[in-house]
Structure 1
Amino acid sequence: MEPFIRTTSFAGFRELVAKLGGDPWALLLRFRIKPELLDEEDARVPLRSLVGLLECAAQELDCADFGLRMAEYQNLHVLGPIAVMARSSASVGHALTEIVRFIGYHSSGMQLDLDRSEAQAPRVVIGLQLPGSVPQRQMVELAMGVAHNTMKLLCGAHFSAQSVLLCGVSPLPPARYRRYFQTQVYSGQACNALVLTAQQLQQPIEQQDPHLHRMLVQYLDHIHLHSSSDLVDQVRRLVLRMLPTQQCRLPLIAEQVGLHERALQRQLAELGQRFDELVEGIRRDRADFYLAERDIPMSQIAGMLGYSEQSVFNRACRRWFALTPGERRRQLLEQRAYRRD
């Protein structure tokens, strides 16, 4: 099923394109997005359309930081009722947990996780669930910028993450990221994440309202966002998190979701999934994503995919694409150059 996203995530697009001297309506129509939908809070469009639109705008308007600039127009409130629920939560950690739980209301293609595996360095991990090697840097940086703005809204204007992690290698100078996030930014990482502190998660939210929070949770539950199919998304998030640790095993994943491994296998089977095929598909998609970045070393990609040896990654690449990693990288870069032309 094609992942969608609510059109609230287009906030600031028209203003920014016009400011840069472009025609926002022409760009929207080129990607088959009706401009009037941007004024409807509950309208939805394919996520792929927004991802392509942002990449196109950045290229045609010669604005390499388009995603970050657009993030300046957005914050938690693009999430609609999820935002109200988060701001009525008891603490920042509680709010983030609920945002992760219900992010499917906003977009079925957004991958969000609150990784507490390191107690003193919890991470908000952000990604997109789009198959293939679709360029998506602008959308990812928009989402990272909105996540940063969300933390400032929940924690206060003084908020600063411990650090920011970014996948891939960006043409933007590091200073541009430091200026936006006001902290150290590391590129070429296995995931996109805001690294927080334990104290930030424990911080109480001034506007907490247990009654309002309970009502909104019931509302979101009622529209079937927390269905059994969420198990697949939860497993996907855990696999993405654990692959670089080379500890992505069924028993550990089952323990994380609170199930016996046989129960997890059975429930996945009922949803038409097998654990090993799920892991294989995620590795293949991430391999394409990393290989499309010219400057990430092959040994680093192998490690981020959970392989202890480069040779194992080489064999997997031949199995997936009938190509070596180097050949697949050249193919992806040629395809990207062709699309730009």
Structure 2
Amino acid sequence: MAVRFAVARLEHLGINPAPLLSQSRLSAADLSNHNRISVISQIEFLGRVSRATKDNWIGLTLAQDFDLREIGMLYYVAASSRCLDDAFRRLERYSRIANEALAIQIDREPTCRIGLTYTGVPRHLDRHQMECLAVVLLRLCRQVVGQKLVPLRVSFVHHRSGDLRAIRRLFGCDIEFGALADEMHFDRRILELPLVKVDPFLNELMVKMCEDAISLRTSNTSPLRTLVENTIAPLLPHAEARAKTVARRLGLSERTFARRLAEEDLRFGEILDELRRDLAVRYLEEENLQASQIAWLLGFHQPSSFSHACRRWTGLSPLEFRGATASLRLEN
């Protein structure tokens, strides 16, 4: 979904999407033939579109500019439900029809919490798609009840800096970045809201179609490494990215966690180090982030520790690496 809208955005701005698609291992044929697109490729493509259009909020831009009916079956099975709680139950069960890596979890006490998680996809690689998904979900909730619902609070795992007024206006509340989970909280009373287009006959038909669709999909178990990365990432700024803490969050003892890693020839220290490296490269692209802030986001106690790690990863200091990547972008 987001890839098609991003291509249309590029074409509207007079930018040829073909090179960006190719760099993300995608093609125009994938889109025209409605081929299933890997979530990793989607994430990579949105990142490239953000840079090409100089739109640091490309996910928000795309999420606001399309007819929600283009979501397809997922829209109709939710919109034809009896009340918002029923719509949430449908979204929770069938979300992977639209995105095989996305899971939606709904908790109903003490508030209505809508959690968004990836399975089998490294969460730290993404920010644009998760923001796009959250806005689309909010738009869907508002449209099906005919009210401008406002969350109590919204949080994202990834980091953001700079001017946040646009996203705050969009959601109508403060946004927490660098949080432990991607989620929206509402007053639980919204669950009882009736939908404006209740259609039990259409809903019965759509439920059958969705059940048929998910029965055709094979379930893929999330690789352990990705699961560990997605658990580590939100712990970094809190300096809690330790094997003991990760094991507890995964519901494992330290011994079982270590054995599971060893069975797949993985080492916790290497996963942590490589995750920090990937995030460091991303954060250094943000010119308004100081090295001391990046050090904190990565869980280093001192900026000097981050500088040493950056030299080990790239052969350059943070300042040198930032200058080199800026020059490369200008050349391209």
If the length of structure 2 is used for normalisation, what is the TM-score? 0.68
**Does structure 2 conserve the Cα–Cα contact (< 8 Å) formed by 1:91 and 1:202?**
no
Displacement of 1:142 after TM fit?
5.2
Following superposition, the deviation at residue 263 of structure 1 comes to 1.8
- What is the CA–CA distance in structure 1 between the aligned matches of 2:204 and 2:244, rounded to whole Å? 36
RMSD: 4.6
- SS of 1:287's equivalent in the other structure is helix
Match of 2:30 in 1: 37
CA drift of 1:243 comes to: 1.0
Secondary structure of the 1:295 match is coil
1:79–1:106 Cα contact (<8 Å) kept: no
Q: Give yes or no for contact 2:291–2:318 (8 Å, CA) kept in 1.
A: yes
Unaligned ranges ≥5, structure 2: none
Confirm or deny that 1:299 pairs with 2:292: yes
1:75-114 to 2 correspondences below 5 Å: 106=99
- In 2, distance between residues paired with 1:211 and 1:274? 48
**How many angstroms does 1:143 deviate by?**
3.9
1:144-196, Cα deviation, whole Å (9 max, x unpaired): 133122134247543323246563445xx54433443333356xx53697653
Alignment of 1:119-130 (within 5 A): 129=122
Q: 1:327 aligns with which of 297, 307, 320?
A: 320
Answer yes or no: is 1:275 the counterpart of 2:247: no
CA-to-aligned-CA distance 1:98-136 (integer Å, 9 cap, x gap): 689x59x8366x8x89799xx88978578985999xxx8
C-alpha change, 1:21 and 1:298, in structure 2 (3 Å) is closer
| 1:93–1:201 contact (8 Å) kept in structure 2 | no
TM-score, structure 1 length as denominator? 0.67
Deviations 1:15-42 (A, max 9, x none): 5455x4536xx43366345435324444
Please show how residues 1-341 of structure 1 align to structure 2 within 5 Å. 8-13=1-6, 15-17=8-10, 20=12, 22=14, 26-28=16-18, 31-32=21-22, 34-44=27-37, 46-47=41-42, 50-51=45-46, 54-55=49-50, 57-59=52-54, 66-73=58-65, 106=99, 129=122, 140-141=127-128, 143-154=130-141, 156=145, 157-161=147-151, 162-163=153-154, 167-169=159-161, 174-185=164-175, 189-190=177-178, 196-197=184-185, 199=187, 203=191, 220=214, 223-227=217-221, 229-339=222-332
Asked if structure 2 preserves the Cα contact closer than 8 Å seen for 1:164 and 1:193, the reply is: yes
What is the letter of the counterpart of residue 167 of structure 1? H
Look up the SS of the partner of 1:31 in the other structure: helix
Structure 1 residue 239 displacement after superposition: 0.3
Q: Which amino acid aligns with 2:42?
A: L
Secondary structure at the counterpart of residue 12 of structure 1: helix
SS in 2 for 1:197: strand
Uncovered stretches (5+) of structure 1, i.e. residues with no partner: 1-7
State the Cα distance separating 1:290 from its structure 2 match: 1.0
CA distance in 2, matches of 1:337, 1:82: 42
Q: CA deviation at 1:280?
A: 0.8
Percent same amino acid at aligned positions? Answer: 20
Q: Please state whether the residue corresponding to 1:294 is helix, strand or coil.
A: coil
Classify 1:274/1:37 alpha carbon distance in 2 versus 1 (closer, same or farther; 3 Å).
Answer: same
Q: Residue type of the partner of 1:314?
A: S
